Structure 1
Amino acid sequence: MNGHPIKRREFFRGAAALGSLGMSGILADPVIGTRSAGQLPARSEFVVRNAYVMTMDSALGDLANSDVHVRDGEIVAVGTRLIAPTAKNIDGRNTIVLPGLIDTHWHLWTSLFRSLSGDTKERGYFPLSKRLGKAYTPEDMYRAVRFATAEALFSGITTVHDFNHNVRSLNYAKAALRALTDTGIRARFSYGYYQAQPSEEATDFDSIAALRELMTDSQKNLLSLGFAPREVSVYKMYRRDWEMARKLGLPITVHANSSRSEALEIELMSKEGLLGKDVQLVHATVVTPAEVEQLAKSGTSVSLTPYTEMRGGFGFPTVGQLFSARVLVSLGVDTTALAGNADMFAIMKAIQSVGNARAESEFKLSPRRVLELATIDGARAMDIADRVGSLKPGKRADLIMVSTMNLNMGVFTDAAHLLVEAAQPSNVDMVVVDGRILKHNSQLTALNVEQVIREARDSLVAVRRRANWY
């Protein structure tokens, strides 16, 4: 498959014209326009009152019948009977309030392929994504990323890690960033390769560096930039790429040891000195004890995506091995082409079930420990734990409110068990990102859901037609 890498000259022509406009300038694009962008709600002052508050902070713990005070996007206080005379009161009775859920690995652009992966090798996920990825336009990229992000917010996911491996030109990267910005979600955009990029073709770091500089000029922006290189087993210039990424200060995320055909990639990375706290590996499904030890010693984290790892035939997630070695573990959606949806509650339940099944113990992974993977440990893996991941005064206000007044939640027992074993996205009544209420009364507040769905469908029809994939 032929691709279209970003050219240095092309990027700097655009950067020169838009650099003075900051982040909003680089994200503006005549191809995408503004017709799809909703108006994000303003940050306001409010107090959620009388909720069961799971702070996910080791010092604060859980607080029954308690309040969370938010002002100007920041958590001001957590406690009982908080005094806030100018704040709007939000009734938290019969709800659980906890930090927003954090996804640490998701190819958002593949959201148009929901459950499209077929029943034969020729119609499977990898042929599907390569063929249809080539047929994408920047507008398709925008619609796909927005579609995925809308589902994330609806499901209670307040941070996503967009591992974008279909960046076919500058406009594609801009379109993805624009979609993330328009929805108001917190995100890392990991700048990747494109589908079927030739292994001898070098990564264009000039464009990545310029994009990084433009993004860091906007201190209040919810987006950060990472690097998503090709696997070390298929790309021979990996040393150059990792060195360049580290010079730019970019966190690195790479698929590794995903299946038996890709075994011992971690061993190679360890020998080459590539592992470290700035590195996140994805899947690590087939690992040796020595490799797990190398991950632990280097501080490398691992994102597990249980539904795609099992549905795609990679194998069972290695959560027990990683936990035993004290490797930092977090959770991801990966792709709804295989996972079907972006249900982080189901992902938590799956990882607990797999961990306990492999250990042959009901008690190997507790629901509370699993909940940490989707909150504070996810924040640690994304290097944003100083800002989000727990409900602690001084942190940014990323939180969700889950109703217990539904048939699947109606008997309140242990909150952690209830969330991991019983909760569903439909139970999420309110979602707050950086102090903005983006879902309230079970409805998204900043997006026209019908339009998001309609335009995603239109793009899929057009992409399949261009790719001749029926």
Structure 2
Amino acid sequence: HGTPKPDPRPGETPFWEQPHPRAEVERLLKAHAGEPLLSIHAAVLGPHYSTLDVAMHDFRMAQELGLIASMHQGGGPARTPDGWERLEAAGLLGSHINIVHGHALTDAQLARFCELGMSFSAAAESEMSQGHGHPLTGRLRALGRAPSLGVDLESVMSGDMLSQARIALGIQRSLDNVAHREAHGSIPPTSTITTREALGWVTIEGARMLKQQDRIGSLAPGKQADLVLVRADTLNMQPVHDAVSAVVLQASLANIESVMVAGQWRKRDGRVLGADIPSLLERLTQSGQKITQAMGL
């Protein structure tokens, strides 16, 4: 659950001074309790984008309600420069805190947050395009951790996770290759990151970030039956010598033939099931037109 963050009009309280609406989160938790395919968490501002009072309120709310509090970190100067130190002193940091981007974190902060069990989400395509800097992937790997991956702006970037895995893998391999050339004056003999590791960023690491790795994120007895079947007999996939590498480096959405969620087929033989696609597309078109008109485009 997140909140809109428009620039304040004259006389309005700016969004960075408004605590997350706890009553609305509690309403959602109560209304959707027990739904197996839905979990409620909070997209909060965090100390980078809010006052200290707001950050304290939001982190305490998440802790008391058992929520994951996810927030962006980076992109301009922090509104509360010592916010992270103050939040840790208040005992409000832990595995329920997720940081998106994180480029503004120092090496010491990142190491400390890893010790506290906090999670991190990179959005490599968006970060490179918007000027955030290089994804945290390499810095986390040096600390024995791995990111989950996100998109950040599905309205602008590719919304599928295969693309995000491929982009995140490519940029970190590039950074590692440049470092090797500078240190040794030669092209490295092999890549630093395997495709299997990159696949983990969009599967089990995503589940770990949600604290649901015991239920989703991999195929194992007792876990939820989530399957993605990828056709390997198409021209862009052939010949397949390494299935994981073929998926991460070659597959596109057009190769995904079937999808099962919690034991139920949601896509089969290339067709999405139980959805009126033409109606959804019409609504999407209308929504896009409303937004562009409001922006005067």
Instruction: State TM-score, norm by structure 2.
Output: 0.86
Tell me whether 1:434 sits opposite 2:262 in the alignment: yes
CA distance, structure 1, for counterparts of residue 246 and residue 85 of structure 2? 40
The 8 Å contact of residues 302 and 329 in structure 1, kept in 2 or not, is answered as yes
Distance in 1 between residues matched to 2:169 and 2:79, nearest whole Å: 24
| Residue 469 (structure 1) aligns with | 296
2:134 aligned with 1:307 = no
| Residue of structure 1 aligned with 2:112, choices 294, 297, 306 | 294
Is 1:343 matched up with 2:171? no
Q: Which residue of 2 aligns with 1:331?
A: 149
Aligned length: 274
CA deviation after TM superposition for structure 1 residue 372, in Å: 0.8
Between the two proteins, what is the percent identity of the paired residues? Answer: 26
Secondary structure at the residue paired with 2:164?
Answer: helix
Q: Which amino acid aligns with 2:258?
A: M
Residues 202 and 377 of structure 1: CA distance in aligned 2, closer, same or farther (over 3 Å): closer
| Cα drift, residue 338 of structure 1 | 2.9
Amino acid at match of 1:261: P
Question: Corresponding residue for 1:407?
Answer: 235
1:250 paired residue number: 67
- Summarize the alignment of residues 9-20 of structure 1 with structure 2, pairs less than 5 Å apart: none
Partner of 2:276: 448
Matched residue SS, 2:216: coil
Counterparts of 1:347 and 1:198, CA distance in 2: 30
Give distance in 2, aligned partners of 1:417 and 1:377. Answer: 18
Structure 1 or 2: larger strand share? 1
C-alpha distance after superposition, 1:192-243 (max 9, x if no partner): 2212253333332122112212222xx2431110011113133212112211
CA distance in 2, matches of 1:302, 1:468: 33
Give the Cα separation in 2 of the matches to 1:391 and 1:278.
24
In structure 2, which of residues 136, 160, 171 is the aligned counterpart of residue 318 of structure 1?
A: 136
**Is residue 16–residue 50 contact of structure 2 (8 Å, CA) maintained in 1?**
yes
CA distance in 2, matches of 1:198, 1:263: 12
> Residue 96 of structure 2 corresponds to which residue in structure 1?
278
> Kindly tell me: are residues 328 and 276 of structure 1, through their superposed partners in 2, closer, same or farther at Cα, counting changes over 3 Å?
farther
Q: Is the 8 A contact 2:5 2:15 kept in 1?
A: no
Amino acid at match of 1:223: L
Runs of at least 4 residues of structure 1 off by over 4 A? 262-265
The alignment partner of 2:234 has SS state of coil
Q: What is the CA deviation profile of residues 349-375 of structure 1, one whole-angstrom value per residue up to 9, with x for unaligned ones?
A: 111111111111542111001111111
Cα shift at 1:277: 0.4
TM-aligned CA distance change 1:302 to 1:263, over 3 Å:
farther
Change (3 A) 1:337 1:459: closer
Structure 2 counterpart of 1:210, one-letter code: R
**Residue 264 of structure 1: CA displacement?**
9.1
* 1:97-116 deviation line (CA, Å, top 9, x unaligned): xxxxxxxxxxxxxxxxxxxx
Deviation per CA, 1:132-165: give whole Å up to 9, x if none: xxxxxxxxxxxxxxxxxxxxxxxxxxxxxxxxxx
| CA distance 1:254–1:283, change in 2 (3 Å) | same
Match of 2:199 in 1: 371
Task: Check conservation: 2:135, 2:168, Cα contact below 8 A.
Answer: yes
Q: Supply the AA of the counterpart residue of 1:259.
A: G
Post-superposition Cα deviations, 1:432-467, rounded to whole Å, max 9, x if no partner, equal 1111111111111121222211110012112333x2
Write the mapping of 1:3-402 to structure 2, written as runs, cut at 5 A: 191-196=1-6, 197-216=14-33, 219-236=34-51, 237-256=54-73, 258-259=74-75, 261-262=77-78, 268-273=83-88, 274-339=92-157, 341-360=158-177, 361=188, 362-402=190-230
* CA-to-aligned-CA distance 1:45-99 (integer Å, 9 cap, x gap): xxxxxxxxxxxxxxxxxxxxxxxxxxxxxxxxxxxxxxxxxxxxxxxxxxxxxxx
Residue 245 of structure 1 aligns with an amino acid whose one-letter code is: A
* Partners of 2:96 and 2:295 in 1: CA distance: 40
Given that 1:300 and 1:327 are in contact with CA atoms closer than 8 Å, whether structure 2 keeps it comes out as: no
Q: Distance in 2 between matches of 1:329 and 1:234?
A: 22
CA contact (8 A) 1:270 1:294 kept: no
Partners of 1:327 and 1:262 in 2: how far apart? 25
Task: State how far apart, in whole Å, the 1-side matches of 2:262 and 2:125 are.
Answer: 29
Match of 1:423 in 2: 251
Partners in 1 of 2:255 and 2:42 — Cα distance? 34
Equivalent AA in structure 2 for residue 193 of structure 1: T
